[in-house]
Every structure is written in C-alpha cells, then in structure tokens.
Amino acid sequence: MAPVQVQRLTCTRCDTQITGSFPLPELLQLTDDELQFLLEFVKKSGSLKLMAEQLKLSYPTVRNMLDAIIGKLNTFSDTEKKKK
C-alpha cells in the first residue's frame, strides 16, 4: 500500500477547513504494536530493563525492538526530506 496522506484539516473552533495533501506525522505511520511499545516505553521512563521484565523478553531483544522502531522513524524522516 502507498503511504497514506491527510487530505483535509479542520479547525475545531471556527470550522475552517483546509484541503490539500499533508503527510501523516511520523509516529502515526507506525503499526499499533509499535505505538503500544513506545507508549509503554515512555511510561516506564525509558527503561529497557523494566520493559524486558514486563514483556518477559531478554534485555537485548527489547533493545533490538526499539532499534527497529528508530530505524523505521529515520526512514520516514529521510523520505519526507527527499520529498521536500
């Protein structure tokens, strides 16, 4: 599937609508599981050790999961930069 883009932005106060083609924020391009992982990671104050305990996985496995998300976010940033 091609990247999804936002077509319309609406002001919740005055109902002004802007139509165009806006890229989704980088975080919203992640999958539900990846977002859930990031949410839990922030709630755990960025502790990989606590994340490993919660997910019942080893420390390096959790670090690799985080690295994969960072890699994905970097790819999104690079793609956006190239478009500009």
Partner 1 sequence: MKYLFNPFIRIAGLRSLLLGWTAMLLTAAIAYFSHCHFDGVLDAHVGPGGEPAWVYLLEPALSWSCAVIVFYIAAVAVAPSGVRFIDIAGTMALSRWPMLFVALLCFIPAPLPEEPSKIRPSLIFLGLAMLVFAIWMIALMYNAYSVSSGAKGTKRLVSFIIALVVAEALSKVLYYLLF
Where along the sequence are the contacts to partner 1 (CB under 8 A)?
A: 56-61, 63-64, 67, 71
Q: Which is nearer to partner 1, 23 or 57 (CB)?
A: 57
* Cα–Cα distance for residue pair 13/30, rounded to 1 Å: 29
* Cα–Cα distance for residue pair 27/78, rounded to 1 Å: 14
* Cα–Cα distance for residue pair 27/35, rounded to 1 Å: 7
Q: Give least dist CB 59 to partner 1, A.
A: 6
Tokens coding 13: 């106060």
Q: Which is nearer to partner 1, 30 or 52 (CB)?
A: 52
Q: Give least dist CB 32 to partner 1, A.
A: 21
* Cα–Cα distance for residue pair 36/60, rounded to 1 Å: 19
Q: Which is nearer to partner 1, 22 or 59 (CB)?
A: 59
Q: Give least dist CB 61 to partner 1, A.
A: 5
